[in-house]
Chain A
Amino acid sequence: MRIKLFTAALLSLIGVTSVTLAQTKKKAAAKATPRYSLAASITSGLAVYKQYCLTCHQADGGGVQNLNPPLAKTTFVLGDKTKLINIVLKGFNEDVEINGNYYSNAMPAHNFLTDQQVADVLSYVRNNFGNKASGITVAEVKKVRETK
């Protein structure tokens, strides 16, 4: 019992330390293997992107003229996180203008992806193709998925 408590305390201490380390050494965050690493999430996100997104949105995130919207520098990608998470989970089929153009293909719902996969792929998309934005966490995806 005592040993267990001690281990738990030690583990949480390590946890706190690593978070602190990550905060103080922002640039070395990836190397310090903290609990949440945007860099690691982006790396995992690339694999998800290749499997589920690349065919339509293309390797460069530029989409396809008139059919599939680009992911580079659009408010859909860089704006409201809840909306963006919902596009992945529920799909998208609306006639809206995106940077002066319209795109006719319907995006199917990708609710079969795990919270982790959705967080990773969106973090990847928000930090590639010339985009620079905060990552999306598993907790954020989970919250949106639970909101009916």
Chain B
Amino acid sequence: MRKKSFLYFLPILAIAGLIVFNACTTDNGKTVQGHAAPAGLTIPQGFSASVIAENLGAARHIAISPQGGIYVKLQRAKNGKGILYLKEANGAATVANSFGAYDGTGMVIKNGYLYASSNTDVYRYKLNDKSEVINPEQPETIVTKLLNRRAHNSKSIALDDDGNLYVNIGAYSNICSEFDPDKKGCPILDSAGGIWQFKADKLNQSYAEGVRYATGLRNIVGLDWNKQANQLFVMQHGRDQLHGLFPQYYTEKQSAIYPAECMYALKKGDNAGWPYMYYDQDQNKKILGPEYGGDGKKEADAKYANPVAAYPGHLAPNGLLFYTGTQFPEKYKNGAFIAFHGSWNRAPEPQAGYFVVFQPFKDGKPDGKWEVFAEGFSGSAENTSSGRADHRPCGLAQGSDGSLYVTDDVKGSIYKISYKK
């Protein structure tokens, strides 16, 4: 009898789970009516999604050539190959070539070159007229000997239209406590915790040849150049452990949703304030960090840069892409897609994220509420709340036909999302 009544409730439980799943993931973003696609994703009406490749390894950032060739950077080189080149045909992408015996994240095509980053260096490979790498074994070393102290070591990259390369050098610390015990100022910011600018075509540059373009940025994985604003936009991974370190000021719940994951539109010389402050997306204020005398309410020095948009805590924005294609409906044009890798620092509260968000833009500035564009990467509501996601979105690219490509660095899948008119 007991067993029977449980079975009777199963479909109801499943439906309830689905509702909770759909309702929770938006947090305080805009809710969009979606439909389930065969790839296991829920996406807006009119869009379709498919998995075009699987089991590639930890697929981080992705770049697509004008001819449709797909370059993927693997976080850990597999069999001595850290870059995969795939060709797509009949709804499937297959590996045609692989090279680059190093770990890393960055992958960008610009001005006839493929730029790739390891956790210390940036390389570039000349492309032929089919946008294929001419000499995979001999890239040019553009930047070298950047710090890799393990934590936050992704040297994510972006390029502008004036011959500059921007490189993230993440802070190898949560909140600099171990390096600034007397609170005299975080000493690691001279060589980490910011974005450095280099020349895109000059060889063997390092700190001496680069410019610390912006500082006080804890770690940036997703970044992109916005052509409308002619400005670099970055997504910061905010600090962890507000409750763990300061239970007198923050509950576990507050620690799960704060601080915000912030989007910054950077100008040269900006300071975003890490580790001295963080941004509270509900008070809409820059808050003085508790390590530096804050209590969750005291405001930080106004000199620090204001974010242009703020998202719930710990969702880990790993990919940022400004959509310039014409395939998607008009509202997406020049807006931002953000791949949120998903949280872990919300424990013991439920985890969240593992989705791709759309942030509307107008004239090069965020305009209106963000909305969840694609979700379901984790596999289930249970996987999301436990953090045991089947797939985690990481890199984003726009295909030559205007489709959106999303990488997954758990199982190494590539998702392709298209709009059918």
**Contact, CB under 8 Å: A55 / B387:** no
**Contact, CB under 8 Å: B178 / A108:** yes
Minimum C-beta distance from B246 to chain A (A): 13
**Contact, CB under 8 Å: A64 / B344:** yes
**Contact, CB under 8 Å: B151 / A106:** yes
**CB proximity to A under 8 Å, residues B265-323:** none
**Contact, CB under 8 Å: B153 / A64:** no
For A56, the chain B residues whose CB sits under 8 A away are: 344
Contact of A58 among B75, B178, B387 (CB under 8 A): B387
Does A104 make an interface contact (CB < 8 A)?
yes
Contact of B388 among A54, A62, A68, A93 (CB under 8 A): A62
Does A133 make an interface contact (CB < 8 A)?
no
Nearest neighbor of A108 in chain B, beta-carbon distance:
B178
A58–B388 alpha-carbon span in the complex (Å): 10
Does A59 make an interface contact (CB < 8 A)?
yes
Does A66 make an interface contact (CB < 8 A)?
yes
Nearest neighbor of A60 in chain B, beta-carbon distance:
B386
**CB proximity to B under 8 Å, residues A14-31:** none
**B interface majority secondary structure:** loop
Interface string of A97-134 (1 = CB under 8 A from B): 00000101110100000000000000000000000000
Contact of A104 among B153, B178, B241 (CB under 8 A): B153
**Contact, CB under 8 Å: B150 / A93:** yes
Q: In the complex where A65-B392, A95-B150 touch, is A55 in contact with B76 (Cβ < 8 A)?
A: no
Nearest neighbor of A51 in chain B, beta-carbon distance:
B244
**Contact, CB under 8 Å: B153 / A58:** no
**CB proximity to A under 8 Å, residues B366-421:** 386-388, 392, 409-410
Contact of A68 among B172, B241, B344, B409 (CB under 8 A): B344
Contact-size category for A: 20 to 34
Contact of A102 among B76, B152, B244 (CB under 8 A): B76
Does B347 make an interface contact (CB < 8 A)?
yes
Does B167 make an interface contact (CB < 8 A)?
no
For A66, the chain B residues whose CB sits under 8 A away are: 58, 75, 409
* Residue picked from A58, A60, A64, A65, most chain B C-beta under 10 Å: A65
**Contact, CB under 8 Å: B244 / A55:** yes
Contact of B241 among A55, A65, A67, A102 (CB under 8 A): A55
A60–B392 alpha-carbon span in the complex (Å): 19
Does B348 make an interface contact (CB < 8 A)?
yes
**Contact, CB under 8 Å: B348 / A65:** no
For B386, the chain A residues whose CB sits under 8 A away are: 60
Nearest neighbor of A95 in chain B, beta-carbon distance:
B150
For A68, the chain B residues whose CB sits under 8 A away are: 344
Does B345 make an interface contact (CB < 8 A)?
yes
**Contact, CB under 8 Å: B347 / A59:** yes
Nearest neighbor of B153 in chain A, beta-carbon distance:
A104
A50–B349 alpha-carbon span in the complex (Å): 12
**Contact, CB under 8 Å: B348 / A50:** yes
Contact of B410 among A62, A65, A104 (CB under 8 A): A65
For B241, the chain A residues whose CB sits under 8 A away are: 55
Interface string of B130-162 (1 = CB under 8 A from A): 000000000000000000001111000000000
**Contact, CB under 8 Å: B348 / A54:** yes
A66–B58 alpha-carbon span in the complex (Å): 10
A47–B387 alpha-carbon span in the complex (Å): 21
For B387, the chain A residues whose CB sits under 8 A away are: 58, 64
Binding site for A on B (CB under 8 A): 58, 75-76, 150-153, 172-173, 178, 240-241, 244, 344-345, 347-348, 386-388, 392, 409-410
24 CB < 8 A contacts A-B: A55-B345, A55-B347, A55-B348, A56-B344, A58-B387, A59-B348, A60-B386, A60-B388, A64-B344, A64-B387, A65-B409, A65-B410, A66-B75, A66-B409, A67-B344, A68-B344, A102-B76, A104-B151, A104-B152, A105-B150, A106-B150, A106-B172, A106-B173, A108-B178
In the A-B complex, the 10 residue pairs with the smallest Cβ-Cβ separation, listed nearest first, are A64-B344, A104-B150, A55-B347, A105-B151, A104-B151, A55-B244, A106-B151, A58-B347, A54-B347, A54-B348
